[in-house]
Structure 1
Amino acid sequence: MNSDALHTRPRHPGTAHPGTAHAGPAARPATPADAEGIARLRSAFVLAEPLAEEWITRSGAELAARLAPGGDARASVVDAPDGTLASCALALVHAVLPEPASPSGRAARVHAVATHPSWRRRGYAGSALTALLDRLRAERVSPVDADVSGASAALFRASGFCGSLAPMRMTWPEPPVRGRVDAKTGHVWLPQEQYAETVMKATGFACLLFTDTHDRPVQLHAVYSRTHPWQLAGGTMDPGERPWETAVRECREETGIEMTGPPKLLATVYGLPGTEWPYSTMGLVFDGGRLDEAQIRDIRLDPREHDEVRVLPLPRWRPLMPARDFARLAAVLEARRTGVAAYFDTWDWGTE
């Protein structure tokens, strides 16, 4: 299917489509874990121009959230013997005004039906599309539209779609580039404000690693984040702050401990954007030192942010934290042990 392909509708909204038109391997409902595989099939075999890897990652993360319970995405997939996705059918449900053709006030559009070339001509696409339509019908979603290319028109018509009107589409044009052109090279030098809109956007943070006298990490339990339940003392940088200033301020607000420095850097952390946060994240982790039992007892938590202080050996933190958070903690602790600053660039915003 292509974005410029035909627009179709089922022949009889609200009635059964000829689901036996495509006998093939069993399809299953897609889960959030299938999202990246669906995004890759769509990019490679549906879109006129494949997406860059960054957009595949972003698209997959967004789709994972929308495939979760309560989301607006519906998809069916067929698994290949090697564990990858052989085929998929994806639709997005949207609200419409109730009328006889859509009594439930919900309609859908099929955005992708794709099969990897290695698994074509086996009925996989028909099986995935039939399962998707069965699910939409069971949920009383009607009408169902689709973008259809010439190559896939027969599949859709056999599934009950009809029509031949190509959809019209509005894509807001990019603002014209106004800049200085280098007469020798032809390079366009954009105005500072316009160039700033094209560069990567990121949020910064700074935090401190505290351990007890036995080098066991000290962490705080967050009341506001199920995704990152156990955290180092620290937080997001305020405008105009330098990283060490952020670490000192956040530590004072979250624990009552006054840091004086000098700063000792343990790790640089980077994360790609995802469904949890739309920007990249860059941060610094400093060494807060070792706290004795009295200092740990004297920690004063801000109940709006944390409700518990816990001290555990590193292995016992693993089951309490998402994998990427534990990996970051392990890297920071190893940097403290070796004296060599860590570079940790996989603290990505995901769907955990």
Structure 2
Amino acid sequence: MRSEHVLSEPLSEDWIRRCTGELAPRLTPTGDARAFVIDAPDGSLAACALGLIHPVLSGPAYPRGLAARVQVVATHPGFRRRGFARAVVSALLDRLRTERVTLFELHASELSAPLYRELGFAGSPALMRMTRLEAPVAASDPESGPVSTSPEQYAETVLKATAFACVYFTDEEGRPLQLHSVHSPTHPWQFVGGTMDPGERPWQTAVRECREETGLTPAGPPRLLATVYGLPGAGWPYSTIGCVFDGGRLTAEQIRRISLDPEEHDEVRVLALAEWEALMPPRDFAHLRAVDEARRTGRAGYFETWDRGTE
């Protein structure tokens, strides 16, 4: 799988035979290799993940002195984008943790790095690492069994994400309102809103950002139109989680009184939904259309394609 679907230049048959002979005994219960696979319908492999356990000097982060390198993760091209890579890697990491491995390392491609960040790895694709102290042992007695992980230690292992909140406005005819960004030529038209500040809740962020960007104060109570999620990418190293709230219908006078922050936006525009399609990337228009549909139908939307850093 690695030779055929990962390496830029496949291994020779001689090398494949050599690796097969070396790996087979290491996959036994007493060996240092662990692997998980997903079978294809024809009996071949759809995906696989291989990890190699190795010793390191013991320390607070690896009290048993065990680390593991994720050596191979491969998915057949015909079975990609089905979550198979995530499934086999997750199963491999879970198994390694039961063997008291707490330090994990791997090399990743630029395309696969977001998946590993989702699973808790950090660092550049050239070397990504993760420490998981889910069952650490007391330093004074390596055989005494598990002790509790501190909140700070556990926090280092979980998903990191940026949170934001937006407000969706239309005019009295139901035509969407958007702001033109001065910072993002690839995503020029945007909802009113922004990133959450520490200590804020989503609706508080929506109200604050709305005042800062337009001078308007959205009326409550908050009505959620959509939740959105984006994977990490080249443009941003963290996941993105957000809420889009209904700001209601604005009168012509309210729209005229909008006061923009020139450091963020230079134009406010109201157009029929169909007219926005030509002014923004297809994915942005899909977001706008989904939010507009949620407003019209009363059914909150959910979409997982706020991956702006990967476009």
What residue is the counterpart of 1:197 in the other structure?
A: 156
Instruction: Write out the 4+ residue segments of structure 1 that deviate beyond 4 Å after TM superposition.
Output: 53-58, 170-182, 186-189
Code of the residue aligned with 2:186 in structure 1: it is T
What residue is the counterpart of 1:59 in the other structure?
A: 110
1:251 to 207, 210, 213: 210
Code of the residue aligned with 1:276 in structure 2: it is G
Check the 8 A contact 1:217/1:313 in 2, yes or no.
Answer: yes
Q: 1:178 to 1:204 in 2, by over 3 A?
A: closer
Q: 1:57 to 1:282 in 2, by over 3 A?
A: farther
Where structure 2 has 5 or more consecutive residues not aligned to the other structure, the ranges are 8-48, 51-69, 75-84, 90-105, 115-125, 139-144
2:250 to 291, 302, 310: 291
Taking structure 1 as the reference length, the TM-score comes to 0.51
Q: Distance in 2 between matches of 1:237 and 1:58?
A: 31
Where structure 1 has 5 or more consecutive residues not aligned to the other structure, the ranges are 4-42, 64-169
Check the 8 A contact 2:219/2:247 in 1, yes or no.
Answer: no
Q: Distance in 2 between matches of 1:211 and 1:246?
A: 20
Matched residue SS, 2:168: strand
% identical aligned pairs: 60
**2:291 aligned with 1:342, yes or no?**
no
1:319 to 278, 282, 286: 278
Check the 8 A contact 1:228/1:322 in 2, yes or no.
Answer: yes
Check the 8 A contact 1:61/1:351 in 2, yes or no.
Answer: no
What residue is the counterpart of 1:270 in the other structure?
A: 229
Matched residue SS, 1:60: coil
Aligned residues: 205
1:318-340 deviation digits (Å, cap 9, x = unpaired): 12112221111111100000111
Matched residue SS, 2:227: strand
Code of the residue aligned with 1:194 in structure 2: it is Q
Q: Distance in 2 between matches of 1:313 and 1:350?
A: 28
2:240 to 267, 273, 281: 281
Q: Distance in 1 between matches of 2:129 and 2:214?
A: 50
Check the 8 A contact 1:178/1:191 in 2, yes or no.
Answer: no
What residue is the counterpart of 1:236 in the other structure?
A: 195
Check the 8 A contact 1:62/1:275 in 2, yes or no.
Answer: no
Q: Distance in 2 between matches of 1:188 and 1:59?
A: 37
Code of the residue aligned with 1:341 in structure 2: it is A
Q: 1:216 to 1:328 in 2, by over 3 A?
A: same
Q: How far off is 1:62 after superposition?
A: 7.8
Q: Distance in 1 between matches of 2:192 and 2:209?
A: 7
Q: Distance in 2 between matches of 1:194 and 1:311?
A: 48
1:130-152 deviation digits (Å, cap 9, x = unpaired): xxxxxxxxxxxxxxxxxxxxxxx
What residue is the counterpart of 2:72 in the other structure?
A: 49
1:287-326 deviation digits (Å, cap 9, x = unpaired): 0000111111110000000000111111111121122211
Check the 8 A contact 2:171/2:270 in 1, yes or no.
Answer: yes
Q: 1:174 to 1:197 in 2, by over 3 A?
A: closer
Higher relative contact order (CA 8 A, sep 6+): 1
Check the 8 A contact 2:130/2:157 in 1, yes or no.
Answer: no
Q: Distance in 2 between matches of 1:315 and 1:174?
A: 46
Q: How far off is 1:350 after superposition?
A: 3.5
Q: How far off is 1:255 after superposition?
A: 0.3
- Flag the structure with larger Rg: 1
Check the 8 A contact 1:269/1:345 in 2, yes or no.
Answer: yes
Q: How far off is 1:190 after superposition?
A: 2.7
Check the 8 A contact 1:61/1:274 in 2, yes or no.
Answer: no
Q: Distance in 2 between matches of 1:252 and 1:331?
A: 24
Q: Distance in 2 between matches of 1:56 and 1:173?
A: 9
Q: 1:176 to 1:205 in 2, by over 3 A?
A: closer
Code of the residue aligned with 1:305 in structure 2: it is E
Matched residue SS, 2:205: helix
Q: How far off is 1:58 after superposition?
A: 6.9
Taking structure 2 as the reference length, the TM-score comes to 0.57
